[in-house]
Structure 1
Amino acid sequence: MPDLSGSTNHMTTTSKPSQGAQNKRRKAPRRAFGTVRQLSSGRWQARWEDSRGRTHSGPQTFESQRHADDWLTTVRADLVRGVWRSPDLGSATLATFMAQWIDQRTDLALSTREGYRTALARWIDRELMLEAPRGGKAIGVHLGAQPLNALSPATIREWYAAAHSTQVRERIDRSRNGQHRHAVQRQPTAPIRAWGRSNGWKVAETGRLPANFLDAWQAADSPGAPHAPASPAGADLSGRPAAVVVQAYRYLRACLNAALDDGLITANPCRVKRGGLVVAAERPHATPDEVRALCAAMPPRFAEAVDVAAWSALRAGELFALARRHVDLDAGTITVERALIDVAGHPRTFGSPKTVASLRTVALPSSVVQRLSDHMEVYTAEGPDALVFAHADGTSLSRDQRGQMFDRARRTVGRPDLRWHDLRHTGATLAARAGASIRELQHRLGHSTFAAAMRYQHASADRDRELAERLDVYAAADQPGNATVLRLA
């Protein structure tokens, strides 16, 4: 029946909102770690905040929110495990870190520190050339310019090969230039002198051409030159790297061990197989007769220095640091407690010997003691601190002065292959022939390891013949009816 009051009775119905509308109104759950946001480019950025309030962003933006979330998950897992590392760690270049590390090595002797710096400048913080196979273009390798955290075993292997290649090429070039210069000095030089005069050089009509003039002439493509020896088509890289390259690798490995300890890298990438091994060639040594000849060819003031060096096996720095108080003529011994430090660019001074094992007392043959006594009576000043081997004014002999004297002496006696350090090897060889054990050699040489002492042993044909003759005795003793009993000493 219709409502006569004129009002209309409306039935009110309430409809449920759609599922889509509910999802739109529902707030996203609060993120437990980090935040992500979409950039105007459409890519996603992930960020998180550490306990100190510093914000860290992802290494790059991500193509989707899910990828950004996944990255945050890995970061949180690393933090929980305690293995997270800031990407800024190890961002300094190798050359920068190594220079700082060398400066902070207070345990290094001055000469050793300079050796590290030389290796850094020559082999690490410069571009080396890696020979390409099959005559291709050489590749430039500058290891020192790379960040620490970018170094890998493959990077180090490439650098090692480039250092070896560069060292071989430089050796060939030095040999070629030396031969060329020698050929120039032996050939008619009138065209070369004429070129020099036409270019403003004051060049004599005869005589040896100055080195700086030859350098300028070679820089001008050597006009009028005799034929220069041809450079080899390719460097022979089949042999072991030179000792300077191996030493640079050892320094690099030690430096990166320090970076590992500092937490700047996660592993030391220096893993070149046998990369730190030096295969030393047989070292030359002098015979007793040659030692006497070398002494005679030296200036009288320093003749006995050769004699003592050859029979004591002291290092040059130890020998030229000896003072009167270090020599006991009655006991026939010399005591090593310091070394002469002679580094280019620094004043000569005295410092600690190479190692703790270098602090030692060495006995001399009685004949050498007598000659040393005669020398000290004539050439050594009075007083306990007076240097045994010194200039007339008591000052120490420099490395260059010693080298010049010894160079003339070795050429005089026909042994231009000898170096001063080979007198030390001579002393070790003579001691070994006299029957010194490895332990005795280790003490006499002042080495801290057996391996270092063994390097100075020299197997000669004469010594091998003596061994064969001794074996004959053992062989004869084993014959039937021979009752000789042999006992090993």
Structure 2
Amino acid sequence: MSASAARRYGSITETATGRFWTRYTGPDGRRLTAGTYDTRREAEAALAGVLSDIHRGTYAAPERGAVPLDVYAPRWLERHAVAADLRARTVETYTHVLHRWILAPVPVAGGRRTIDLGAYELRHLTPTLVDEWYGAVRKAARAAVEARTARQTVAATPNAHARAWARQNGRAVKDTGRLPAGLLDDWRAAGCPPAAAVPVFVDPNAGRRSAGQAYALLRTLCTGAIRDRHIDANPCQTPGAVYYGTADVRPATPGDVERIADAMPARYAAAVVVAAWSALRAGELFALQRRHVEILDDGTVRLRVEQALEELEHQPVRIGDVKSRASRRVVYLPPRAARALVEHLERFTGADPRALVFGTADGRPLTRTRRSELFGRAKRAAGRPDLRWHDLRHTGATRAAEAGATLAELQRRMGHSTVRAALIYQHATDDGDRRLAERLAALEASDNVRHLAAVVGA
């Protein structure tokens, strides 16, 4: 074979160590290597594969996808935020998830090793690697939720934990009543250890939501890498990894809502009721101002949703725009929520049209952290420790669906841009199915009456 033919079809050279070095000419005319192999047969097979890819037009340069994920991901996010016109809060969330779960080492196998996904080049991300990483994130996220829940439970019931700690350390203490002087201080000095005897509720699906959020972002990142021609296929193929948690939510019943509202501070009791019956997002509800509440002549109350709270890390809470164009809407309240809101306005809301409806005593926006603290105590007191504030939105959507709202009506009431998004918040209930059966029975009876009338008339 001539030298020019060898350059065209590739060549194999035996090295001084007895191994075989392959060379070929790429589509761009560059002279490249397909690797060095122990046997000539392995070298011939590798070279034949590369030349076949060039002939078929499926060739990928060796350096393609050689970008580490921790280099590509921040650049992608910066470009994506501009191209998709993402809200500042969304960018902050993506950034947090990226650095908390995707680019940070995650412990696996009982902490004996870690997966540092960010250190991998894009071309080396495989479905097997992603599966292992996702499983590790699931475990780490659940552990984080369990630890946080335990801390919150201990903070909410310090006496019970201090009492149990005293007994474990041989100190006499009564089952009820005031604790001995100094016991709480001693317990705190010991690090506030939680007592196993005091039950701590942990959601069976704890961690799945965070892990699913991280997985969804990684999948979107890899889709961007395909578009940028770094890789050919998305390595994110884990079944059921994207988890929204809606199927496992047990919406608050009207009784739950009333009990939680009763357990909240009086200033925010009506916020629970209005949230559950209006299905407003928390940011929309706590950004409402007096001017957004309209009381009509017949006593009907409607809310104009035009803004939302925006809370970024290390920045004061401010009023910003709603989530999307579809989020600008008018929501009518049923009588129970309307009464609660009117009473609240008279008692707690300032007369200024721009006064926050559910603001703090000094008129400032209620922060997400403070709202979670208040709601956390109230939901535990009401016997529903599994609920999040956002689940009140599920309640509103479910009740609207049970009342006969069409998908289009539900979509509009919740401020969703698509029907698919509205479907996420629908929940079937036993009572709803019973009422459906009753309506079907009534329809059947009506059909029988019409049939009988037709027979008699004939």
| TM-score normalised by length of structure 1 | 0.71
* Conserved? CA contact 2:290–2:355, under 8 Å: yes
Residues of 1 paired with 2:49 and 2:287: CA distance?
Answer: 62
* Conserved? CA contact 1:130–1:161, under 8 Å: no
- Point out where structure 1 has 5 or more consecutive residues left out of the alignment: 1-25, 132-136, 195-203, 219-225, 230-236
2:164 is the counterpart of 1:187? yes
* Conserved? CA contact 1:477–1:484, under 8 Å: no
* Cα separation, partners in 2 of 1:27 and 1:142, compared to 1, 3 Å: closer
Residue type matched to 1:86 in 2? A
* Conserved? CA contact 2:212–2:241, under 8 Å: yes
* Cα separation, partners in 2 of 1:152 and 1:191, compared to 1, 3 Å: closer
Q: How does 1:60-209 map to 2 (within 5 A)?
A: 60-61=35-36, 78=53, 82-106=57-81, 107-124=85-102, 125-130=104-109, 140-167=114-141, 185-187=162-164, 189=166, 205-207=182-184, 209=186
* Conserved? CA contact 1:291–1:306, under 8 Å: yes
Which residue in 2 is equivalent to 1:281? 248
Residues of 2 paired with 1:156 and 1:27: CA distance?
Answer: 47
Task: State the Cα distance separating 1:140 from its structure 2 match.
Answer: 4.3
Which residue in 1 is equivalent to 2:174? none
Residues of 2 paired with 1:227 and 1:310: CA distance?
Answer: 34
SS in 2 for 1:61: strand
Paired positions, count: 427
Deviates more, 1:113-122 or 1:56-65: 56-65
Q: Deviations 1:67-88 (Å, cap 9, x if unpaired)?
A: 8788677656655655433322
Task: State the Cα distance separating 1:484 from its structure 2 match.
Answer: 6.0
* Conserved? CA contact 1:47–1:58, under 8 Å: yes
Which residue in 2 is equivalent to 1:448? 417
Q: How does 1:191-340 map to 2 (within 5 A)?
A: 205-207=182-184, 209=186, 211=188, 213-214=190-191, 242-278=208-244, 280-287=247-254, 290-330=256-296, 332-340=301-309
- Point out where structure 2 has 5 or more consecutive residues left out of the alignment: 172-180, 199-203
Q: Deviations 1:45-95 (Å, cap 9, x if unpaired)?
A: 555677988x55314335689987886776566556554333223223223
Task: State the Cα distance separating 1:152 from its structure 2 match.
Answer: 1.4
Task: State the Cα distance separating 1:307 from its structure 2 match.
Answer: 3.0
Residue type matched to 1:398 in 2? T
* Cα separation, partners in 2 of 1:212 and 1:39, compared to 1, 3 Å: farther
SS in 1 for 2:330: strand
Residue type matched to 1:58 in 2? T
2:401 is the counterpart of 1:426? no
SS in 1 for 2:303: strand
* Cα separation, partners in 2 of 1:117 and 1:82, compared to 1, 3 Å: same
Residue type matched to 1:284 in 2? P
Task: State the Cα distance separating 1:443 from its structure 2 match.
Answer: 1.1
* Conserved? CA contact 1:324–1:383, under 8 Å: yes
* Cα separation, partners in 2 of 1:70 and 1:401, compared to 1, 3 Å: closer
Residue type matched to 2:75 in 1? Q
Residues of 1 paired with 2:445 and 2:28: CA distance?
Answer: 85
Residues of 1 paired with 2:303 and 2:51: CA distance?
Answer: 66
Residues of 1 paired with 2:361 and 2:159: CA distance?
Answer: 38
Q: Deviations 1:436-481 (Å, cap 9, x if unpaired)?
A: 2222111111223334323433433333333333343345456699
Rg larger for: 1
Residues of 2 paired with 1:51 and 1:476: CA distance?
Answer: 76
Which residue in 2 is equivalent to 1:389? 358
* Cα separation, partners in 2 of 1:95 and 1:186, compared to 1, 3 Å: farther
Residues of 2 paired with 1:45 and 1:381: CA distance?
Answer: 81
2:329 is the counterpart of 1:351? no
Percent identity over the alignment is 38
